[in-house]
Amino acid sequence: MAVLHGWRLCPRCGAELGLEQLPARVSCPVCGFVAYANPKPAANAFVVDHAGRVLLARRAREPSLGLWDLPGGFVEEGEHPTDTLRRELLEETGLEVEPGSFAGLWMDEYGDGPDSESTLCLYWTARVVRGVLSPADDVSELAWFAADELPSDDQLAFPSVAEALENWRDSVA
Ligand SMILES: [Zn+2]
């Protein structure tokens, strides 16, 4: 895991980067450009229906293609993570949601291999305001799961999803 794995040339001016401070950062001795190896923030939701079931999304893309994930996605520049939640839920599920309480954060890794990225996954509860459930974007299937009928860990996309769902299951038990 190293987001700056393989970096050699400055993306701004093309000069050779200073690599002495890897894996934390690279810097350009010519133009002063610096890139830090920060985790990527993501915002994900526990959307629960009237029966107390949680919404999961089957991933249509790598990494973890075909495995179940909590709906959500990466925060864009300058975007508040609760706005990320609204945007990603609408894109992936067709639902307009309103974020509720903050449910916790878990660290994870996106992809595998030397250039996989560290992720900082933020979770909120969310309620459906309106919309019709329809999988789109990078989701192939959507389904509601009761707390005692969740997919097994090997059917979940990331370790953080298993941890977050375990935490949610304990909170509703
Ligand atoms: Zn440069």
Rounded to the nearest angstrom, the distance between the alpha carbon of 143 and the centre of ligand 1 is: 48
Ligand 1 (ion): which residues have CB within 5 A?
10, 12-13, 15, 28, 30-31, 33
Distance CA 61, CA 163 (A): 22
Average pLDDT, integer, range 109-124:
92
Rounded to the nearest angstrom, the distance between the alpha carbon of 16 and the centre of ligand 1 is: 8
pLDDT digits (tens, 9 = 90+) for 127-158: 999 999 999 989 999 999 999 999 999 999 99
Question: What pLDDT score does 106 carry?
Answer: 97
pLDDT digits (tens, 9 = 90+) for 91-111: 999 999 999 999 999 999 998
Confidence of residue 8 (pLDDT cuts 50, 70, 90): very high
Report the phi/psi class of residue 104: left, alpha or beta, with left for phi > 0 and alpha for psi in -120 to 50.
left
Q: Please report, as a single letter, which amino acid is at residue 108.
A: D
Q: Is the torsion defined by CA of 111, 162, 61, 121 positive or negative?
A: negative
Between the alpha carbon of residue 16 and those of residues 30, 62, 115, the distances in Å are 8, 32, 19
Question: What pLDDT score does 33 carry?
Answer: 97
